[in-house]
Amino acid sequence: MRRFALGFGLLAIVLSSNAQNQYFNQQLLPLGDESALLANSGIAGQSPNSAVIFNPAALVLNTGNSFSFSGNAYFEFEYTAEGAASLGGESIDLNASGLQFMPTSLIYHLDKWGWNFSFALCVPNYLDYTGEERFESASGSPFNKLNITEGVKESLYSGFLGAGKDLGEGWSLGFSIYGNYYSYSNIIVIEQFSTGNPADFYLYNGYQEAESYSLGAMFGLLKQWESLRLGLTLTSPNLNLFAQGVDRGSTSIAGTNSIPKFTSYETNDVKTHLSNGARIGFGIDYKIGTKLEWSADFNYFGAQSQGLFPASQAGEASYRASTGFKYSINSNSVSYLGFAYLPSSKNGSQRETTVLTAGSRLRIGRTLNSVGVFFANSSEELLNGSAQFDYFGIMIGSTVDLDF
């Protein structure tokens, strides 16, 4: 009965980003200032104020002390699953949409004692959705009505503390410590019944909750020439500091010619962990001319050691490729264009995803102010259909020079 319920609870599985592959989550929403406008490219120092997130060795490209704020003025998501289930022999499409408002990063940079220090707080992933779906079929075999009520909350908060040092002759070295706090909750109620015979009904209630605290480290190298920069990063798997979860549900079913049945399950101390596999990243930034720069990043993510819940599958090894262009209109105005791609994994823990970004930065006094848009699309094949997830948002940000 539980498996039958989860079949109709497909929305709970895919809407919540599957809660299995942290790479998809961490790379979807834009982060940092310039990096956000370049589809989260920053290993080769494309975005010095965001270097503690992407490559701490690129912190040496900053001059003086500064504070940076970046966020999404809003972003909207829309989810569609075609042929996700059936009712009375008829195919059912599931839909969900929502509007979110949130900051994505706060970054402080300090130039002291010949070192470049930086501290950052960021929100790589956030989703809060509550909705209801109602379906009715002309035939009843045995049910002709289906109601699905869904509530999903998923968020990832990350903190970085890093330092970079200029080694001379264009070389620099950096390291950072990062900490993650991940929380996830999902509640779903599925009701099936027949309007012609109230004795036929099916009811499922399910609830999952998880939180995870973890710690890891990143090491980076940067080499600079007159028109070219190359960056290399190595990020360790994260160490699980504390994690716990809840998994419970109940099923009630009855029919005209059958005995009513009630089953339930409950585990209140689930050992959860949002694990990060080791990551290797390579970046390039090349000045094509006096006004145009091209950059690209490639990240390889090692497989997860385990899924979020013990019963869930771990994410497979994967990669993320991104590229972008930066065009200096004049000394006070710059335009950006970015693109990123993530492939789908064989076990379904990651969906094929494309990301597009565009925007500009404008200098006003001692501030650099950015505005842009981003669009992300992911898709996957379901058992009897397909699903699509779209994000669209407006980005804003500002970097303030603190050396008055």
Distance separating alpha carbons of residues 158 and 181, to the nearest angstrom = 6
Judged on CB neighbours under 10 Å (0-12, 13-18, 19+), 41 is buried
Chain segment 94-142, per-residue pLDDT in tens: 777 888 777 678 888 888 888 999 999 888 888 888 888 787 776 656 6
Instruction: Note the pLDDT of residue 22.
Output: 44
Distance separating alpha carbons of residues 170 and 186, to the nearest angstrom = 50
Chain segment 208-258, per-residue pLDDT in tens: 899 989 999 999 999 999 999 999 999 998 888 998 899 898 988 887 677
CB crowding 302-339: b at 16 or more within 10 Å, else e: bbbebbbbeeebbbbebebbbbbebeeeeeeebebbbb
pLDDT bucket at 383, cuts 50 / 70 / 90: low
pLDDT bucket at 350, cuts 50 / 70 / 90: confident
Reported pTM: 0.85
Distance separating alpha carbons of residues 53 and 72, to the nearest angstrom = 18
H or E segment to which residue 67 belongs: strand 66-87
Distance separating alpha carbons of residues 41 and 301, to the nearest angstrom = 15
Chain segment 158-169, per-residue pLDDT in tens: 999 999 999 999
The counts of H helices and E strands in the chain are 5, 16
Rg (CA), the chain: 24
Distance separating alpha carbons of residues 167 and 146, to the nearest angstrom = 65
Q: What is the mean pLDDT of the chain?
A: 83
Instruction: Note the pLDDT of residue 5.
Output: 39
Instruction: Note the pLDDT of residue 348.
Output: 66
Judged on CB neighbours under 10 Å (0-12, 13-18, 19+), 402 is middle
The DSSP letter of residue 236 is P
For the chain, what percent of residues have pLDDT higher than 90?
A: 32
Chain segment 12-58, per-residue pLDDT in tens: 545 544 444 444 455 777 888 889 899 999 999 998 888 999 999 99
Instruction: Note the pLDDT of residue 220.
Output: 97
Distance separating alpha carbons of residues 66 and 109, to the nearest angstrom = 5
Distance separating alpha carbons of residues 246 and 153, to the nearest angstrom = 14
For the chain, what percent of residues have pLDDT higher than 70?
A: 87
